[in-house]
Amino acid sequence: AQTVTQSQPEMSVQEAETVTLSCTYDTSESDYYLFWYKQPPSRQMILVIRQEAYKQQNATENRFSVNFQKAAKSFSLKISDSQLGDAAMYFCAQATLYNTDKLIFGTGTRLQVFP
Amino acid sequence: DVKVTQSSRYLVKRTGEKVFLECVQDMDHENMFWYRQDPGLGLRLIYFSYDVKMKEKGDIPEGYSVSREKKERFSLILESASTNQTSMYLCASSPNPSGTADGYTFGSGTRLTVV
- Per-residue pLDDT of B20-69, as tens digits, reads 999 999 988 888 999 999 999 999 999 999 889 999 999 999 999 999 99
pLDDT score for B99: 52
- Per-residue pLDDT of B56-106, as tens digits, reads 999 999 999 999 999 999 999 999 999 999 999 999 998 876 555 456 899
Which residues in chain B are contacts of A97 at CB distance < 8 A?
Answer: 97-99
The answer to whether the CB of B109 falls within 8 A of the CB of B37 is: yes
Cα separation, B105 vs B95, whole angstroms: 10
Note whether A30 contacts B: Cβ–Cβ < 8 A.
no
Task: From residue B71, give the alpha-carbon distance in Å to each of B23, B27, B80, B114.
Answer: 11, 10, 26, 29
Which residues in chain B are contacts of A100 at CB distance < 8 A?
Answer: 31, 48, 50, 56, 96
User: Cβ A103–B45 below 8 Å, yes or no?
Assistant: yes
Cα separation, B37 vs A43, whole angstroms: 11
Point out the residue among A33, A101, A107 whose CB comes nearest to the CB of B40: A107
**Testing the interface with B: which of A29, A34, A43 to mutate, by most B Cβ within 10 A?**
A43
Which residues partner with A102 through β-bridges?
A: none
Residue A3's CB is within 10 A of a number of other CB atoms, namely 12
Q: For residue B96, which phi and psi values (nearest 5 degrees)?
A: -120, 120
pLDDT tens string, chain A, 115 residues long: the values are: 789 999 999 999 999 999 999 999 998 888 888 999 999 998 889 999 999 888 889 999 999 999 999 999 999 999 999 999 999 999 999 987 665 567 899 999 999 999 9
Cα separation, B55 vs B4, whole angstroms: 19
pLDDT score for A101: 67
Which residues in chain B are contacts of A33 at CB distance < 8 A?
Answer: 99
